[in-house]
Structure 1
Amino acid sequence: MTRLLASVATLDELTLAARGGADILDLKDPKAGALGAWPLDGIARAVREARRWPVRPPLSATVGDLPMAPAAVTGRVAETWACGVDYVKIGLCPSGDPAACVAALEPEARRGARIVAMLFADLWTDANRLLPDLAQAGFVGAMLDTAGKGAGGLLRHKTNGELARFVEQARGLGLLTGLAGSLRREDVPALLPLAPDYLGFRTALCVGADRGGALDPTALAALRHAVPRRLASA
């Protein structure tokens, strides 16, 4: 069953997205880059707010657009996980030493941090080659996203066949799978048959399809309809 991930930029959007039926709430600052991070105190406040709800979706948080330097990556992941989110998302780029970053994060994963790797489809020619390393290091998931939000969405950079192979290989390694990257509502029918665990949205949720703008409840409702819920227990 594919679920709907909604990236939210403020506490008000957090509440709006939860009420609108998002299956996972992703804390991200779209004005600070592809994976712009909320400040740590803001993440902690969002966690406290969500814990007051009778029922809440899982919360994920990005750690920002970090250089592929193990010390910087491990420190920020540890700090973000300590805020109490359910998942920490780290972007992996081919520049620098992404393999060393993955290896350096293994102790954090073994201590319980639930880390999801974001692999940028417009930067990697073969992101799949990192998937075995992610599984070996104890990551819980891998998503394909895009780094350059003005250079077209995910389907401009990867074919359906490439996306299908990514999802299949990641799932075979026991990883949660997700697809994101300037996805539109019109992309959903092509992506649902691939059966990723999540489809992630920001731009398509916003007024005027401006990812830096405000979340639009009408757009969220349209995407909630396009990514239908099945059994609540699934």
Structure 2
Amino acid sequence: MRLLVSPMNMEEAQAALAGGADILDVKNPKEGSLGANFPWVIRSVAELAAGRVPVSATIGDLEFKPGTASLAALGAASSGADYVKAGLLGVKTQEQAEEMLNAIVRAVKELDPGKKVVASGYSDYSRAGSISPMLLPAAALQAGADVVMMDTAIKDGRPTFDFMNEGDLADFIKLGHSLDLEVALAGSIGFSHLPALTRLQPDIIGVRGIVCGGDRRSAVKEELVAKVKSALSR
């Protein structure tokens, strides 16, 4: 399992890197669960991480607007992101998911076929009015995306494990792997969830709040990144 940590600025990126993060995921928590940061922040973090770890960038909790999404994806990829992560919040059907992902994947892969697209759904999809994440692996495969992810849309402290039990998450991972996709899990993960995640073995675990002392609006702390990394490796 690789540990993805989501910094919002250079200071946090340096702390995440020093703590042992495997992927730096540039986001802006002020704009939502997968809020997009600025191109110059992505570029600075990419320069910091060059030759050390890959960089991911979120492009927002998106409405069903494939054109807007494709431009945002191109911006993130052009700014140095190795992974471009799209939250399909406003998507209601598998067909809409495919249309969105086709546009995003084309924008990214035409720039650089080596860059990866992450299709993110939400474990609390029913309260957020979004598509079930269980429909995303098939849509991601059809569009040529590389990773499927599950996060939480509403950041009120309730974790993914409140909405999906361990069996549900195992099914999501199994489905993604059966389609040759990487699978990532995130969503207000706490230290109490790490044993279950170790059993589940997703490819990537995404965190922010846990490495900010429990408040995702606070700052990423090197020692907490190291603590999570150590717990996952035991």
Q: Is the Cα contact below 8 Å between 1:30 and 1:211 reproduced in 2?
A: yes
- State which of 184, 206, 209 in structure 2 corresponds to 1:178: 184
Residues 105-128 of structure 1, C-alpha deviation per residue, up to 9 Å, x if partnerless?
342354324100111111157322
Which residue in the other structure is 1:224 paired with?
229
Q: Is the Cα contact below 8 Å between 1:3 and 1:227 reproduced in 2?
A: no
> AA paired with 1:114?
K
Which residue in the other structure is 2:73 paired with?
77
Give the secondary structure class of the aligned counterpart of 2:124.
Answer: coil
Which residue in the other structure is 1:114 paired with?
116
Q: Is the Cα contact below 8 Å between 2:61 and 2:89 reproduced in 1?
A: no
- In structure 1, C-alpha distance between the alignment counterparts of 2:104 and 2:48, rounded to whole Å: 28
Give the secondary structure class of the aligned counterpart of 2:61.
Answer: coil
TM-score (norm 2): 0.90
> AA paired with 2:35?
G
Q: Is the Cα contact below 8 Å between 1:35 and 1:91 reproduced in 2?
A: yes
Q: Given the superposition, is the C-alpha separation of residues 71 and 39 from structure 1 closer, same or farther in structure 2, using an over 3 Å criterion? A: same
Give the secondary structure class of the aligned counterpart of 2:169.
Answer: helix
State the Cα RMSD in Å. 1.7
- State which of 145, 150, 155 in structure 1 corresponds to 2:156: 150
Residues 213-232 of structure 1, C-alpha deviation per residue, up to 9 Å, x if partnerless?
01122322221111118xxx
- State which of 136, 142, 155 in structure 2 corresponds to 1:130: 136
Which residue in the other structure is 1:86 paired with?
82
Which residue in the other structure is 1:232 paired with?
none
- In structure 2, C-alpha distance between the alignment counterparts of 1:98 and 1:151, rounded to whole Å: 27
Mapping of residues 194-205 of structure 1, within 5 Å: 194-205=200-211
Q: Identify which range, 136-145 or 104-113, moves more after superposition.
A: 104-113
Q: Is the Cα contact below 8 Å between 1:109 and 1:138 reproduced in 2?
A: no
- In structure 2, C-alpha distance between the alignment counterparts of 1:220 and 1:49, rounded to whole Å: 17
Q: 1:137: how far off? A: 1.1
Q: Is the Cα contact below 8 Å between 2:19 and 2:226 reproduced in 1?
A: yes
Q: Is the Cα contact below 8 Å between 2:157 and 2:188 reproduced in 1?
A: no
Report the count of equivalent residues. 224
Give the secondary structure class of the aligned counterpart of 2:79.
Answer: coil
Residues 41-85 of structure 1, C-alpha deviation per residue, up to 9 Å, x if partnerless?
22112212322xxx5111100012221211111110011111121
- Percent pairwise identity: 34
- In structure 2, C-alpha distance between the alignment counterparts of 1:92 and 1:195, rounded to whole Å: 24
Could you tell me which runs of 5 or more consecutive residues in structure 1 were left unpaired when the two chains were aligned.
230-234
Residues 120-173 of structure 1, C-alpha deviation per residue, up to 9 Å, x if partnerless?
111157322221121121101011000101050000010111100100110111
